[in-house]
């Protein structure tokens, strides 16, 4: 028999039955033996199929799946089975979707084991799930098995047992410490002792057990080698709401969670969970003005990008993004000056090169405001300080200064107009600063 593709269990069984029916007509005396062969092969196929408990939905970098006496690189769409060991390298990610809908993201430098995974949609309460994280980091999102049979779920680590109560949580394992954070639901951590065995299932209810819930914002549950019990550890309440919202938005934006789920390490700097977008300065003039090494020709900057603000020479372009995180942020963020271009138009209406020597830019996402200060200089001006503040529109990422007008509506305090990438990683603005008998003009680019 020849199969162009890998045969499925039903395909193989049907082919065997057809072969036996055909062969039995020709060799009646062998019919019983051939029927027995079909039964044996079918049982082997069923036994093999019953071990498949999920599939790989994503793999990045170098990783491997160890299975009995063999090992192979995981492939998207490939199966995972009871007994599999997933080992990731320093750049490896492996995502698994289990048959009950549970998801595991095995992150770099980790060893994750599937000891037992029994699940029947007809009887989810009888499910049995036994997993272990020997080292590294993994994010776990509970499926129907853990939801229906919490007393039959267990994630073991070298030092503690972890039971769940319907949960999305991240576990980090080192030789001396176990650390867990919870985004949804709750977990119970307990060190191994006579009342908490690794081979048991469910939550350990000993006096040493400690619970961590998603409502305990800014907290992690930590157990260190040599200590008596797990303890709560503050991981920084500032920005925790932002972290939760951003990670939720990030996860929702990924169809089927086909990209790496953000690790707890990323949660401390939640913006790293989103692919960066870019700003680029274009110029309308064919040739750059003296000292301008930052801009590119307008049409080059326009390719694939959206224009945000401009003043006739400088135009700020931004890569488009389907995900705007700015409305969800509430913290204050400081940006650092990365590059700039500037000139000074003196009292004789001559343009001379200028320099942005230093600067600060702070954005308060909660109040939708910004403030900036630049130290500017040009020939004959000395160092001049320029300060502006204004408002941010989170829906567009564009921010403008609160300018003051003099008689006849003439601008007398300078101006700032800029934009932030929708993942809040970068910012850029152009400025006009009337100082003394002349005016500084230019553009800046900032990063976190």
CATH code assigned at 401: 2.40.160
CATH code, domain carrying 228: 2.60.120.1440
pLDDT value of position 166: 72
pLDDT value of position 434: 93
Residues 428 and 326 in one domain: yes
Q: Which residues contact 420 (CB under 8 A, 6 or more apart)?
A: 326, 363, 392, 397, 399, 426, 427
Mean pLDDT over residues 393-420, rounded? 74
Within-domain flag for 77:
yes
Residues 92 and 188 in one domain: yes
Q: Which residues contact 437 (CB under 8 A, 6 or more apart)?
A: 346, 347
Residues 285 and 433 in one domain: yes
Within-domain flag for 169:
yes
pLDDT tops 60 at residue 192: yes
pLDDT digits (tens, 9 = 90+) for 63-84: 999 998 788 888 888 999 999 9
Within-domain flag for 96:
yes
- In this predicted structure, which of 44-53, 129-138, 216-225, 299-308 has the lowest mean pLDDT? 44-53
Residues 291 and 317 in one domain: yes
Residues 21 and 158 in one domain: no
Residues 385 and 437 in one domain: yes
Residues 66 and 165 in one domain: yes
Within-domain flag for 270:
no
Residues 76 and 178 in one domain: yes
Range of the domain at 291: 275-447
pLDDT digits (tens, 9 = 90+) for 256-284: 333 444 444 434 443 443 344 589 999 98
pLDDT value of position 200: 94
Residues 66 and 14 in one domain: no
Residues 116 and 151 in one domain: yes
Q: How many domains does the chain have?
A: 3
Residues 251 and 279 in one domain: no
Q: What is the pTM of this model?
A: 0.48
Selection from 111, 144, 108 nearest residue 128 by Cα: 144
pLDDT tops 70 at residue 253: no
> Do 276 and 425 form a contact (C-beta atoms < 8 A)?
yes
Mean pLDDT over residues 170-187, rounded? 92
Give percent of the chain with pLDDT exceeding 90: 56
Residues 232 and 293 in one domain: no
CA of 138: how far to CAs of 179, 359, 386, in Å?
A: 11, 40, 48
pLDDT tops 90 at residue 111: yes
Mean pLDDT over residues 321-349, rounded? 91
Structure-model confidence comparison of residues 420 and 264, the more confident one? 420
Within-domain flag for 3:
no
């Amino acid at each position: 028999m020849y199969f162009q593709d890998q045969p499925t269990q039903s395909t193989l069984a049907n082919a065997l039955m057809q072969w036996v029916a055909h062969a039995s007509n020709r060799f009646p005396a062998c019919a019983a033996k051939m029927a027995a062969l079909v039964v044996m092969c079918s049982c082997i196929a069923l036994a093999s199929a019953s071990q498949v408990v999920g599939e790989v939905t994503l793999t990045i970098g170098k990783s491997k799946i160890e299975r009995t006496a063999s090992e192979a690189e995981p492939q998207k769409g490939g199966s995972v089975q009871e007994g599999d060991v997933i080992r990731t390298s320093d750049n490896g990610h492996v995502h698994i979707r289990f048959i009950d809908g549970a998801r595991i993201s095995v992150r770099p430098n980790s060893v994750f084991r599937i000891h037992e995974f029994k699940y029947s949609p007809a009887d989810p309460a009888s499910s049995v799930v036994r997993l272990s994280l020997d080292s590294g980091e993994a994010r776990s999102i509970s499926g129907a098995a853990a939801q229906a049979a919490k007393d039959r779920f267990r994630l073991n680590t070298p030092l503690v047992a972890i039971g769940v109560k319907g949960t999305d949580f991240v576990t980090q394992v080192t030789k001396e410490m176990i650390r867990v954070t919870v985004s949804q639901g709750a977990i119970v951590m307990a060190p191994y002792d006579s009342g908490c065995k690794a081979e048991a299932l469910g939550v350990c209810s000993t006096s040493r057990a400690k619970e961590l819930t998603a409502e305990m914002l800014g907290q992690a549950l930590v157990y260190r080698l040599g200590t008596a019990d797990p303890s709560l550890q503050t991981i920084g309440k500032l920005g925790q709401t932002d972290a939760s919202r951003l990670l939720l938005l990030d996860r929702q934006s990924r169809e089927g969670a086909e990209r790496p789920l953000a690790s707890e390490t990323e949660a401390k700097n939640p913006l790293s969970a989103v692919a960066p977008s870019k700003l680029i300065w274009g110029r309308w003039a064919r040739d750059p003005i003296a000292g301008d090494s930052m801009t590119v020709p307008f049409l080059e900057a326009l390719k694939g990008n959206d224009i945000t603000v401009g003043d006739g020479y400088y135009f700020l372009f931004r890569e488009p993004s389907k995900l705007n995180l700015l409305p969800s942020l509430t913290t204050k963020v400081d940006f650092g000056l990365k590059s700039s271009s500037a000139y000074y138009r003196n009292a004789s209406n001559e343009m001379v090169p200028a320099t942005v020597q230093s600067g600060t830019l702070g954005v308060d996402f909660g109040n939708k405001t910004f403030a900036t200060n630049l130290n500017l200089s040009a020939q004959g001006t000395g160092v001049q300080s320029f300060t502006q503040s204004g408002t941010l529109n989170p829906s567009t990422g564009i921010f403008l200064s609160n300018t003051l007008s003099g008689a006849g509506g003439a601008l007398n305090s300078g101006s700032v107009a800029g934009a932030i990438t929708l993942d809040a990683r970068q910012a850029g603005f152009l400025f006009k600063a009337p100082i003394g008998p002349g005016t500084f003009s230019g553009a800046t680019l900032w990063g976190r």
